[in-house]
Amino acid sequence: MTDTMVSHVDSTLISTSAPKRAWRLRNLLMLRPKAKAAIAYGVLSAGLYFGLYTFNDDIRHIAEMTNQGDKTYFLLPIGVAFLFSVVHGLFTDRFWEALGLKAKR
């Protein structure tokens, strides 16, 4: 009876060892929701900066028109700055949360 108990204990020790996980592409692409949000806001922020540099001449023209007396476009730079601030702030928040860092409250 002791022989079967020992063999039973030995077999459970061998069977409890965890098998190695296969690193498949599907497992590598599975991200936490916070990481997905950080990537999405990062792409959106990069797109906004790309748009800013792409339409640089148009933005400069609007600024010159406002300087010459056409005051209807004065809210445009304020709106763009607000949009950049919100998107970049959301990206930064999700980025640090994805890394596991949170601010003290």
Phi, psi of 18 (to 5 degrees): -75, 135
Asked whether residue 95 carries a pLDDT value surpassing 50, the answer given is yes
CA angle in degrees (0–180, nearest 5) for 57-63-69 = 140
Given this model, what pLDDT does residue 83 score? 95
What's the CA gap between 19 and 35, in Å, rounded? 27
* pTM of the predicted model as reported, rounded to 2 decimal places: 0.65
**pLDDT 10s digits, 7-63:** 455 454 444 555 555 566 666 567 788 888 899 999 999 999 999 999 999 988 888
Identify the CA nearest to 41 among candidates 96, 94, 103. Answer: 94
What tokens does 47 get? 């797109």
Asked whether residue 88 carries a pLDDT value surpassing 90, the answer given is yes
What tokens does 103 get? 């601010």
Where do we find the tokens 């990062």? 42
